[in-house]
Amino acid sequence: MNVTQLSVFVENHPGHLQNVLKILGDASINIITLTIAETSDFGILRIICNKPEEAISVLKKEHVICSATDVLAIEIDDKPGELSRALTIFAQHGLNIEYMYAFTEKREGKAVMIFRFEDIEAAKSALNKQGYRIVSKIDIIGES
């Protein structure tokens, strides 16, 4: 099972990001981590939250353009060189990372990294062979 990321189109103007977050807040959706990729005119907001399907449906109702994306979440040791070690595996398998970001909270000395791949299954199998723990949906959702 993969982690579902919420991807949202947001214009790069004051108030637009706030509008999206307010819709999510009003619907009692809790954000676990987020990141924004921006251009001068617009950005793509990427969110990991507790109820992604519900988040998409409330956003669509408000005419916000969004989609669900499968991303890979893995635990790595919170030690120097560990992220580099994980990336070596991807490089060796010729897997290009489209984008990546991290969880804000640490879990028992582990950091959680989010990766977006063209071929998520290939990335998973490459990591599995190296003994990485892949975080599934249920693990992330602390509440409900």
Partner 1 sequence: MFNREFEAMPLAEMKKLQLERLKWSLNHAYKNNAYYARKFDASGFDPSSFKSLDDMKRVPFLTKQDMRDNYPFGLFAVPLKDVVRVHSSSGTTGNATVVGYTSKDIDVFAEVVARSLSSYGATSDDILQVAYGYGLFTGGLGLHYGGEKLGCLTVPISGGNTERQLMLIKDFGTSVLACTPSYALNIADYLEKKRPDYDIKKTSLRIGVLGAEPWTEAMRNEIETRLGIEAYDIYGLSEVIGPGVSAECSAKSGMHVFEDHFYVEIIDPDTGEVLPEGEKGEIVYTSLTKYACPVIRYRSRDITRLYHDSCSCGRTLVKMEKVTGRSDDMLIIRGVNIFPSQIESVLMEVEGTEPHYQIIVDRSGALDDVEVRVEVAEKIFSDELKVLESLRQKIVERFRNVLGISAKITLVEPMSIARSEGKAVRVVDKRKLK
User: DSSP assignment, residue 97?
Assistant: E
* C-alpha gyration radius of the chain: 16
Would you say 1 or 37 has its CB closer to partner 1?
37
Residue ranges in the chain assigned as alpha helix (H): 16-26, 52-61, 82-92, 120-129, 137-140
Three-state secondary-structure class, residue 5? strand
Upper half-sphere CA count for residue 58 (Cβ side, 13 Å): 16
- Decide: is 33 part of the binding site for partner 1 (CB under 8 A): no
- Tokens (6 digits) for 17: 């990001």
Rule CB under 8 A: choose which of 3, 24, 29, 44 binds partner 1: 44
CB of 82 to partner 1, least distance (A): 26
Count of residues in contact with partner 1, rule CB under 8 A: 21
CB of 116 to partner 1, least distance (A): 7
- Decide: is 42 part of the binding site for partner 1 (CB under 8 A): yes
Query: How far is it, in rounded angstroms, from Cα 26 to Cα 46?
Result: 18
- Decide: is 23 part of the binding site for partner 1 (CB under 8 A): no
Interface segment toward partner 1; rule CB under 8 A; list 7-15, 83-91, 105-113, 133-141: 7-15
Query: How far is it, in rounded angstroms, from Cα 60 to Cα 54?
Result: 10
- Decide: is 47 part of the binding site for partner 1 (CB under 8 A): no
Kindly identify the residues of this chain, within the stretch 48-107, that bind partner 1 according to CB under 8 A: 63-67, 69, 98-99
User: Residue numbers of the site for partner 1 (CB under 8 A)?
Assistant: 5, 7, 9-11, 16, 37, 39, 41-42, 44, 46, 63-67, 69, 98-99, 116
